[in-house]
C-alpha cells in the first residue's frame, strides 16, 4: 500500500510539473517589417506585458517581402506592407479581415489619413496605417558642395560633379526610382502611358551614369561614413542618420515626391491571431505611437500621438511638409498588371 501511495504521489508531482511547464510556455509572434522601423524597447515591453516572444525579421523592399511571404515555409503573423502591396496581398486572399472590436485604440487614428488609406484598402478592411512619409535625397555635406544642392531638384542625380565618382545610389525599388524620374518630367508617378515611361527611361539613362548601385539599405551606413555621397532615401531613415551626424543633410526635391503609407496587416495564415491583434492595438496606443514616431522620425497617422509630439518634430517640414509641397506629391497606388511596364523600365536600367 505504501509503495502504491509513493507511486501515486510521484505521478501527481510529474503531472504538476508538466502542466506547470505548459502554463509558462511562451507563445511567439512572428513579425516581418522594414529595417530600423520600430523602437526596440516597445518590442521588449510587448513581450513582457503579454508573456511572449517576438521573432522580428526585416526586409528592404515590398517586392522582397512579397516573395518571402509567398515562398517561405515560415508563417509570419504581422507584416508592414506599403499601400499598393496591401492591395496586392488582399487580392491574393492573403490578409485577415480586421475585427475592429479587438482594436480598442483604432479611434486614435486620423480620419483624414484613414480616408486616404481607402484608396488601396476600401473601408480599411485589412490594414491599419502605421507611418507615412516621403522620399528624397540624403547627402554628406563635406562631399557635396552647397551649390550642387542649391538646385533642389531630382536632376541633381545627373550633375556632372558626380561623373565617374561612383558615389551616388538609388533605392532598389521600381516604384520609387521610376517614380522619381516620372515626377521630374511632370508626370504622376502612377502614369504608365507610353509617353510617360519613355520620358522616364530617358531621364534614368542619364541618371544611371552616376549611380553606383540600387540598394534600399546600405545608404544608412555608407552616406554617414562617406562611401556614398548622395542617395535616394526615405525621409525618416535620413533623419535618423542626421540625428547622429550633423554633417548629413536631406532635401525633398522641388518637383515633388512619392507619398507612401506603410500599414500593419495580419496574414490569414497567422497561427497567433489573438496575439497579433494585441500587437496592433499596442502600437496604436497613443503613448506607444508617440514613442515610436519620435524614434523612427516618420510621420504618424495616430492623431492622439501626434498631438503629444515634441514641437521640434511636429514643426519639422522634412517630416510634416506644408500643404503646398504635399500637393506636388503622389500616393503610390496599386496598378495591377500595369505595374509590369514600370518593372520593365526599372530592370532595363539596372542591367546597364
**Which residue's entry shows cell 547627402?**
139
Q: Give the fold, CATH level 3, of 133-259+329-351.
A: D-Maltodextrin-Binding Protein; domain 2 (3.40.190)
Which string of DSSP letters, residue by residue, matches 11-76? HHHHHHHHHHHHHHPPEEEEEEEETT-S-HHHHHHHHHHHTEEEEEEEESSHHHHHHHHHH-SS--
pLDDT tier for residue 195 given thresholds of 50, 70 and 90:
very high
For 33, the grid coordinates are 517589417
Tell me the average pLDDT of the chain.
93
Helix axes 174-184, 194-207, angle to 10 degrees: 100
For 87, the grid coordinates are 492591395
pLDDT for 19: 45
pLDDT for 10: 47
pLDDT for 38: 98
pLDDT tier for residue 181 given thresholds of 50, 70 and 90:
very high
Cα–Cα distance for residue pair 329/197, rounded to 1 Å: 18
Q: Global pTM?
A: 0.88
Helix axes 40-50, 273-284, angle to 10 degrees: 130
Q: Is 100 helix (H, G, I), strand (E, B) or coil?
A: helix
Residue 90 is inside which H or E element, if any?
A: helix 83-91
Q: 9-131+261-320 with 133-259+329-351: one CATH topology?
A: yes
Cα–Cα distance for residue pair 164/95, rounded to 1 Å: 46
pLDDT for 71: 87
More confident residue, 12 or 37: 37
Q: Is 284 helix (H, G, I), strand (E, B) or coil?
A: helix
Give the contacts of 159 (CB within 8 A, at least 6 positions apart).
148, 151, 210
Does residue 243 contact residue 297 with C-beta atoms inside 8 Å?
Answer: yes
The Cα angle at residue 47 between residues 41 and 49, in degrees rounded to 5: 100
Which of these, 257, 335, 277, 283, lies nearest to 85 by C-alpha position?
Answer: 335
Which of these, 277, 301, 275, 300, lies nearest to 100 by C-alpha position?
Answer: 277
* Mean pLDDT along residues 303-329: 96
For 241, the grid coordinates are 542618420
Q: Give the fold, CATH level 3, of 9-131+261-320.
A: D-Maltodextrin-Binding Protein; domain 2 (3.40.190)
Side-chain-facing half-sphere of 111: CA atoms under 13 Å: 1
pLDDT for 352: 76
pLDDT digits (tens, 9 = 90+) for 229-285: 999 999 999 999 999 999 999 999 999 999 999 999 999 999 999 999 999 999 999
**Domain spans, the chain:** 9-131+261-320, 133-259+329-351
pLDDT for 21: 41
Cα–Cα distance for residue pair 129/265, rounded to 1 Å: 9
Cα separations in angstroms, 57 against 31, 34, 68, 76, 81? 6, 8, 11, 9, 13
Q: Residue 297 pLDDT > 90, yes or no?
A: yes
Give the contacts of 125 (CB within 8 A, at least 6 positions apart).
90, 97, 98
pLDDT digits (tens, 9 = 90+) for 84-93: 999 999 999 9
Cα–Cα distance for residue pair 213/234, rounded to 1 Å: 16
pLDDT for 24: 56
Cα–Cα distance for residue pair 157/317, rounded to 1 Å: 22
Amino acid at each position: 500500500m505504501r509503495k502504491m501511495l509513493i507511486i501515486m504521489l510521484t505521478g501527481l508531482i510529474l503531472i504538476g510539473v508538466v502542466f506547470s511547464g505548459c502554463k509558462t510556455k511562451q507563445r511567439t509572434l512572428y513579425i516581418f517589417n522594414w529595417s530600423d522601423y520600430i523602437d526596440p524597447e516597445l518590442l521588449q515591453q510587448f513581450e513582457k506585458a503579454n508573456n511572449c516572444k517576438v521573432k522580428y525579421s526585416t526586409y528592404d523592399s515590398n517586392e522582397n517581402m512579397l516573395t518571402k511571404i509567398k515562398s517561405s515555409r515560415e508563417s509570419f503573423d504581422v507584416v508592414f506592407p506599403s499601400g499598393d502591396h496591401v492591395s496586392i496581398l488582399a487580392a491574393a486572399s492573403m490578409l485577415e479581415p480586421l475585427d475592429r472590436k479587438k482594436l480598442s485604440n483604432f479611434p486614435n487614428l486620423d480620419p483624414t489619413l484613414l480616408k486616404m488609406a481607402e484608396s488601396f484598402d476600401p473601408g480599411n478592411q485589412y490594414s491599419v496605417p502605421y507611418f507615412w512619409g516621403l522620399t528624397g535625397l540624403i547627402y554628406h555635406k563635406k562631399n557635396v558642395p552647397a551649390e550642387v544642392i542649391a538646385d533642389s531638384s531630382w536632376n541633381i542625380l545627373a550633375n556632372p560633379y558626380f561623373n565617374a565618382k561612383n558615389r551616388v545610389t538609388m533605392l532598389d525599388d521600381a516604384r520609387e526610382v521610376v517614380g522619381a524620374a516620372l515626377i521630374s518630367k511632370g508626370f504622376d508617378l502612377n502614369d504608365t502611358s507610353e509617353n510617360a515611361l519613355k520620358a522616364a527611361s530617358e531621364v534614368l539613362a542619364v541618371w544611371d551614369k552616376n549611380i553606383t548601385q540600387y540598394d534600399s539599405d546600405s545608404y544608412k551606413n555608407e552616406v554617414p561614413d562617406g562611401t556614398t555621397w548622395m542617395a535616394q532615401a526615405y525621409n525618416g531613415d535620413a533623419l535618423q542618420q542626421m540625428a547622429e551626424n550633423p554633417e548629413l543633410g536631406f532635401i525633398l526635391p522641388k518637383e515633388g515626391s512619392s507619398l507612401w503609407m506603410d500599414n500593419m496587416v495580419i496574414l490569414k495564415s497567422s497561427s497567433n491571431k489573438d496575439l497579433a491583434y494585441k500587437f496592433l492595438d499596442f502600437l496604436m496606443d497613443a503613448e506607444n505611437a508617440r514613442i515610436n514616431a519620435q524614434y523612427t522620425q516618420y510621420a504618424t497617422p495616430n492623431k492622439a500621438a501626434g498631438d503629444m509630439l515634441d514641437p521640434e518634430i511636429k514643426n519639422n517640414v522634412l517630416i510634416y511638409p506644408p500643404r503646398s509641397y504635399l500637393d506636388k506629391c503622389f500616393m503610390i497606388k496599386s496598378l495591377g498588371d500595369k505595374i509590369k511596364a514600370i518593372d520593365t523600365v526599372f530592370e532595363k536600367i539596372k542591367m546597364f
